[in-house]
Structure 1
């Protein structure tokens, strides 16, 4: 009868040529026994280890030989042994054969969304072009504004990974109305066209009055939208707090990713454990 593999009866022995074998009660562990080990992640989401790694086994019990490069690590959890499929590099550093970066490479969070909202709000208040481009009339909002937006390198506060943010509808409305007001104001500044100058004075006056009325209306709607957006920003603690929360989160994510890289590098250096067929 096959005996259960535990930390009490399992040992690692080294032959004269430095071949390390995994044994149970003095006998080399077989594939059948190895397959009985419970599969459990060794590396936590935080980049730390759930237990003590023993070594790797060059065997793919789950028909995963065609998967991305990885190791099967035998590790100790308390008084029990586990096995774990550990990729050669962390998921966020993995690149497909076609050269595409894994989706986990991008960083997304509530703090990033709020920070992006604050940046757009600050840009609108200062009269600068917002990070969101004007919404074309008649277009689908989901396909334009509500798509994920990558923060520019100078604002993402990290060079290690790209940061993606989305904004609430209040931000979309404010940016759209800002663009509409600027367009209406530009129509006034442009003045009458050559054709309009050939029309009667009363008609010219009517055209100018309509343009001012349109600009005033758009400005009123824009001010209202900015008021709503300002309230939303203040509810999140204000611009300063939103930036501090985002910066702290980015620094924590940088440290987390480095722990993952260090853990994968250390596990790659573990000795290979040989088991019997």
Structure 2
């Protein structure tokens, strides 16, 4: 009785340990902390004025504060649930003979294009080095410096995030507009059909060039901008036919110049026929039917669209390359 009077909590804990029940109310203890101290959280709260143990359990057993809908909920984390963890980070480094590659060595690596013109890779890419040896870090166009392997040779390449034909319009790039022999033949065939009277409309626009008047085809097909040109023979055929048509449209009237006008008209007709014949010889020299010329034209467009898409797709893959670290 003297022990109970001196320290009832201690005596109660000795009683509770084998029974796994609260030393105050004899209810079963559920969590590990209550079992360790032999008292439940409710009784510990009631004992806070008489025991440092009660104060400890009071702090541990604080209820979660109520929250309003739509607001973050305050969560009480109990000591057994709290822990400090560490995460491992893998750093991939470039090494030469077991030593980390230095900037001096990296600058001496030969630079060669990683992506071929057809949109395929020229070798095996290793990773990206976040270092700009040519002081190109302030470039307006995002790019990577990629280390890659071709055979037994280690190379590096500066690869832009977007292919040149997708650069912003204020960057003048000749490869933005697609040009091909198939487009030129398709255009020349259209000229031949017009001067031969097979079509009534010439599907050309007049654009200024260094040679002055020049028939050219400018169009967009499935987002692909194209430009086609024709030979000097086709240009002569267009010019002579238009001259003959203009003179032939003059009215017949009696005048001192009537004979001269007729002579000019006949001469224009003859020159237009000579130019048409020369153009027909050029077209026949292809050994292609009009249907084959048309098919080749559309096939070239499809191939170019596929090539450009390969360039875009391969850059999406290169964007996932790991970063490689080199020594300063």
**Bin for the TM-score computed over the shorter chain:** 0.7 to 0.9
Cα root mean square deviation, aligned: 2.7
Number of residues of Structure 1 aligned to a counterpart in Structure 2: 239
Q: CA deviation at 1:161?
A: 2.0
1:183 paired with 2:255, answer no
Secondary structure, aligned partner of 1:50: coil
Seen in structure 2, the aligned counterparts of structure 1 residues 90 and 177 have a Cα distance that, compared at 3 Å, is same
2:173 corresponds in structure 1 to 102
For 2:232 and 2:137, how far apart are their aligned partners in 1? 46
One of 259, 272, 275 as aligned partner of 2:323:
272
Could you say if the C-alpha distance between residues 152 and 50 of structure 1 is closer, same or farther in structure 2, counting changes exceeding 3 Å?
closer
Shift of 1:150: 3.6
TM-score normalised by length of structure 2? 0.65
CA contact (8 A) 1:93 1:102 kept: no
Q: Please tell me whether residue 218 in structure 1 is matched to residue 268 in structure 2.
A: yes
Larger radius of gyration: 2
Counterpart residue number, 2:188? 117
Matches within 5 A, 1:22-37: 22-37=94-109
Question: CA offsets, 1:60-102, max 9 Å, x none?
Answer: 1123334432110011222332111111111111125xx3552
Quote the residue 1:259 is aligned against.
Answer: 310
**Displacement, 1:141?**
7.5
- Taking the aligned partners of 1:182 and 1:37, their CA distance within structure 2 comes to 65
Stretches of structure 2 lacking an aligned partner (at least 5 in a row) = 1-86
Give the secondary-structure state (helix, strand or coil) at the position aligned to 1:249: helix
CA distance, structure 2, for counterparts of residue 209 and residue 23 of structure 1: 90
Runs of 5+ unmatched residues, structure 1: 1-14, 193-203
**Residue pair 1:71, 1:88 contacting (<8 A) in 2 also:** yes
Distance 1:140 1:258 in 2: 32
Aligned-partner Cα distance in 1 for 2:156–2:206: 53
Per-residue deviation, residues 106-139 of structure 1 (Å, max 9, x unmatched): 112222222211111122223524345689xxx9
> How many Å separate the matches in 1 of 2:122 and 2:235?
44
Q: 2:126 and 2:235 mapped to 1: Cα distance?
A: 53
TM score, norm. by length of structure 1: 0.76
Question: Which residue of 232, 239, 242 corresponds with 1:169?
Answer: 232
The structure-2 alpha-carbon separation of the partners of 1:127 and 1:208, relative to structure 1 and needing over 3 Å to count, comes to farther
